[in-house]
Chain A
Amino acid sequence: MKTAWALTILLICCAPTAWTVQAEETVSPPQQLRVFDTPNDSGGSLTVTWAQTDQESKNLRYQILLKDPAATEPKVIAEFASDTYYVRDAKAPWWTRPAPKNMHQFTIKSGKGIDLKDGTSYAVTVASVAGEQRTSAAPVQAKPEPNWFNWNQINNLAIVMIFGFVVLGSIQAAKRREIFLRRIPGLDAVDEAIGRATELGKPILYLTGAGDMSEPSTVAAAVILGRVAKRVAAYETDLMVPHRDPIVMAVCQEITKQSYLEAGKPDVFKEDSNFFITTDQFSYTAAVDGIMLRKKPAANFFMGSYFAESLLLTETGASTGAIQIAGTDSDHQMPFFVTTCDYTLIGEELYAASAYLSREPVQVGTLRGQDIGKACILVALGVGTVLATASVLLHVDLSLALDLVKDWK
């Protein structure tokens, strides 16, 4: 019995020695070290990759060492556990992945005490550290350089180009045969609204939203203004277009003027039908609310992008009994428009309005192109959902297909 106890005590005493021996096993340096300019970036960055080893555990750590050409000694710029920083964590699509997914990858970027200058050669190495032991791979020289193309977004570019060709093809097709357009009640109501204003002898208020001319929704609002102004001119009704942006005002003045000319009523055109109020959000809202309450327009049009002012404008308009037609791509304001306006053009209908009102084949063709684009996206969503679910359920890597439909924004 005594012998057994003695053996047990001896084993317990020896155990830490055994662990120590295991820990003191020689740490091998990182293998297959590669250092290169980070691809697809604006420069000032280097990427380091190296192979995974069997020794990796919580006890083993990696250090990234960078040597500036002017410095005598390399500097540790990062230290992390050996089971972190893999190529798969970088989330790059498979066609730009610099190494297999199970290899390690670390990107050195300028900032936080590091200043990588483009065109300057730097020596970089990776060290394996376990307790007191530290061993590093042979340093590799690399130069950061800016790149002229971001290959991560090549799928995005391909989709845009294909969509562009589809739209242009649809325009050509629309010239040859008539394309069916579904009814958009909000746009059918434009004539009704103008007619009502004419009957009542009251003006029409048209707002182009909060955006500037760089926003597609503002351009769409300005284009629709042209169509509306043409009909307003034919009925000789008053038109008021208060603006928040002077450039939008100048553009809309030209559009309105041209519409009156086309309607054969240049004499009815008033230079000050388009006028500037202010760029300030709530000052503009207060002024437009005042116009609504004093002039009591019979029809209010709210086209373009809007923010918090949307409900303040439309609710005031609703209180005056005006017929209200809204069209916006501001998805966060749509509930307010739907609630307070008689008709609302939801999102893409705003962009379709120009084609719908003009019925020009060239314009209508783009709508067919958009529909084809939507069908493609629906198919991609369906296929992507099935593949992503299958990859999780069956534990198979389907990134070859899934990466293709990633990042289409």
Chain B
Amino acid sequence: MTLLRRQLPLLITFVTGILFAAQYYIPHPASELMLTSVSKWLQIIAGFALILGVTSLFHIHAVKIRRKEPGWGYSFVLYAGMLGTIVIGLWHGGKETTDGVTTAFGWIYTFMMVPLQGTMFAILAFFIASAAYRSFRARSREAAVLLIAAVIVMMGRVPLGEHLIPISGDITQWILNVLNASVRRAILIGISLGAVALSLKIIFGVERAYLGGGKE
């Protein structure tokens, strides 16, 4: 049992980890072919895994409807929306248009999915405003610096701001290219080293929590 739960997964992780790390340094078409093949395997696995996901979704909402939990009506809407879309999608063979005419499936996508996604994305503008208001209140020295930098950058990024204060464009570029870029690169160096260290820990079996945690 330990062999299947621990040793075999660790061995597979080690071999594939070394193989795909080496792949980066091998330009030969065989290496590219291996990467392409494995990418296809991943797509196939992801396709089957989606069944797991959808099963989980159906199960959770079925329980909610059965127990009449608060908000069970939303679960009913989810069921109706999901099953309706699947049936209509299969009916039209997954096509959004047939001979230039929008199918019901295409209609659902264009007039329901896209506006709903657009609405969610549009809310971001209001959230940015509220988050900016909260963080730009100059309650501390750091917040004051943030406020000043933000005002300068905002002025430098809009034509009216640059028209009113011509130097704001240059200062903005300096803030972005020097201060911002250097901090960002420092963060990226830390992230890269962290990611490499974590990858090494996984490849060499030092980090095993992703297998189900704990020690043997």
Contacts and interface: CB of A to CB of B under 8 A. Distances in A.
Nearest to A42: B27
Nearest to A276: B53
Contacts of A282: 116-117, 120-121
A153 B25 contact: yes
Contact of A315 (B70, B74, B131, B204): B131
A9 to B, nearest CB: 57
B160 interface: no
Contact of B194 (A230, A255, A338, A347): A347
Contacts of A255: 209-210, 212-213
Given A223-B209, A351-B194, A276 B54 contact: yes
Contacts of A366: 197-198, 200-201, 206
B197 A146 contact: no
A339 B187 CA distance: 17
B190 A374 contact: yes
A347 B198 contact: no
Contact of A340 (B21, B131, B194, B202): B131
Contact of B127 (A146, A230, A315, A362): A315
A116 interface: no
Interface string A185-209: 0000000000000000000000000
Nearest to B61: A275
Given A283-B117, A339-B131, A374-B190, A42 B32 contact: yes
B210 A290 contact: no
Given A42-B28, A167-B200, A258 B213 contact: yes
B1 interface: no
B178 to A, nearest CB: 14
A352 B192 CA distance: 12
B interface SS class: helix
A285 interface: yes
A259 interface: yes
Interface in B59-91: 59-60, 63, 70-71, 74
B29 to A, nearest CB: 5
Q: Which of B29, B52, B56, B206 has the most CB of A within 10 A?
A: B56
A339 B131 CA distance: 6
A334 B52 CA distance: 32
Contacts of B49: 245-247, 250
A219 B71 CA distance: 33
B191 A348 contact: yes
B194 A247 contact: no
Interface stretch (A21-29, A102-110, A157-165): A157-165
B53 A351 contact: no
A285 B122 CA distance: 13
B29 A246 contact: no
A367 B198 CA distance: 10
A370 B52 contact: no
B164 interface: no
Say which size band chain B's interface belongs to. 35 or more
A262 B214 contact: yes
A374 B207 contact: no
Contacts of B188: 331, 347
A261 B214 CA distance: 9
B56 A275 contact: yes
A159 B116 CA distance: 48
B94 to A, nearest CB: 16
A150 interface: yes
B198 A220 contact: yes
B209 A148 contact: no
Contacts of A405: none
B194 A258 contact: no
A363 interface: yes
A146 B27 contact: yes
Interface in B154-171: none
B173 interface: no
B21 to A, nearest CB: 8
B8 interface: no
22 contacts: A147-B28, A148-B27, A153-B24, A157-B25, A246-B56, A250-B52, A258-B213, A276-B54, A282-B116, A283-B117, A311-B127, A311-B131, A336-B131, A346-B190, A348-B194, A351-B197, A363-B206, A366-B200, A366-B201, A369-B197, A370-B190, A377-B193
Given A219-B198, A255-B209, A374-B189, 16 more contacts: A43-B29, A164-B200, A216-B194, A226-B209, A226-B213, A246-B49, A246-B50, A262-B213, A276-B57, A315-B131, A346-B187, A348-B187, A363-B201, A363-B206, A366-B200, A377-B189
Q: Which 5 A-B pairs have the closest CB atoms?
A: A351-B194, A246-B53, A276-B53, A348-B190, A258-B213
Interface of A: 40-43, 146-150, 153, 156-157, 160, 163-164, 167-168, 171, 212-214, 216-217, 219-220, 222-223, 226-227, 230, 243, 245-247, 249-251, 254-255, 257-259, 261-262, 272, 274-283, 285-286, 290, 294, 308, 311-312, 315, 318, 329, 331, 334, 336, 338-340, 346-348, 350-352, 354, 362-363, 366-367, 369-370, 373-374, 377, 409
